[in-house]
Structure 1
């Protein structure tokens, strides 16, 4: 479904955003517009997520960022909390094994062409791991969450489009597995943050694949004024409304050390 996969190992996050291609964030924005959802201010969440991912995957860059907020108490606190959660994740054996894998690529950009529509797309996975013999490829995505337990987090896989993002990244990158590693931002009183490792099931991947495929067709059709936005929104709502979440194994649960 995707052709002409191109690796761009040296470009920065800012340069990735500037690429004239469709990202998963663009698909989320399009879905919100078509379904009439109100625009959300995610500035603080994006900043926290950026600090968290840097602390996990680019610790040298994180240290530079952290030292850049000596006079901004709120931003300094946010950055420090993200670093604390990253250390919680790294204390777990399996996440640590993935993070320090000799076969992993962190924060690198790829572009490809979506063959059915001809659209150029871009992805920048948190971590992409090839098996030693390159027979299996895994996409790893790190999440912070306010969920109180694993069961609640599993409901957000569909709610927040993690199934769509996972299928999109896997298909673009020709990966066979998608693994989410989530850490609690607000643990229960007196407890350490929990870390959950969830591999997307075949059912979730199929559901996500239908969603991103529909959105890419909508993006292509928007360039052709024959079909109205109302028709597109109706078709999209029907597809998303039929999506169901399959909560099957494999799932792993870790208590923070």
Structure 2
């Protein structure tokens, strides 16, 4: 990781819709740009209300902000949600980090290589004298085992997210926690390696450069990439 050249950005406590409205580039925005580059269908923008019916969102709320959890939402199995939460807390190390960490914290920062205003929202940040500065991201997964989840970390660009967040917050480690949502309901904790971070860094910087200069996209994807940039409303000013 490069030597920090600027102070660590402030951590902000924002509700989800306020965070989404910030005029800066998020990791999810980079995913939309990647989809356009790869020829995948455009993703719909989400809001807090849309996410309320998502199993992943429900799990994150129950784990990180249990007082805000609303039971009985259509299509959700509350028992399963809390079963997964209990599974995470049975891991002594994760339970300790949950106890001292700060959940759902946001930050605004300028990515130095492309001079792009960016933002992030981390599941859990541990800034505690007894621990290295740690970012933790929880993923519900259908992975068969830990090796399969490790493969998903690259295939689903979790490595890009890890690098984007780690570089921005000058974190000392990034943990990806996969939580199986089907039997045997395993919990897989991966400390993102320097190699994974380097690969993820290449991914996010490439996409940020494309955001700055969408005309550099391959000709057969040019229209889709430009449309994605326009939809984000974050392209270079005329």
TM-score (norm 1): 0.75
> Is 1:182 aligned with 2:178?
yes
Aligned residue among 35, 43, 65 for 1:32 = 35
Aligned residues: 215
Residue equivalent to 1:113: 110
Q: Distance in 2 between matches of 1:170 and 1:232?
A: 33
Gaps (5+ residues) in structure 2? 223-238
SS in structure 2 of the partner of residue 112 of structure 1: strand
Contact 2:13 2:104 in 1 (8 A): no
1:233 Cα deviation (Å)? 6.0
> Is 1:66 aligned with 2:62?
no
- Runs of 4+ more than 6 Å apart: 41-46
Residue equivalent to 2:122: 125
Q: Distance in 2 between matches of 1:150 and 1:143?
A: 13
Q: Distance in 1 between matches of 2:195 and 2:52?
A: 29
Q: Distance in 2 between matches of 1:46 and 1:29?
A: 21
Distance 1:32 1:12, change over 3 A: same
Question: Could you say what the CA RMSD is over the residues aligned between the two structures, in angstroms?
Answer: 2.6
Distance 1:6 1:201, change over 3 A: closer
TM-score (norm 2): 0.81
Deviations 1:96-143 (A, max 9, x none): 011112xx2210110001123222100011111124078x31111111
Deviations 1:147-178 (A, max 9, x none): 11111111101110010000000001111211
1:38 Cα deviation (Å)? 2.9
Contact 2:159 2:192 in 1 (8 A): yes
Residue equivalent to 2:61: 54
Residue equivalent to 1:18: 21
Report 1:100-179 matches (<5 A).
Answer: 100-101=99-100, 104-132=101-129, 136-179=132-175
Residue equivalent to 1:219: 211
Contact 2:104 2:121 in 1 (8 A): yes
Q: Distance in 2 between matches of 1:152 and 1:145?
A: 10
1:48 Cα deviation (Å)? 1.3
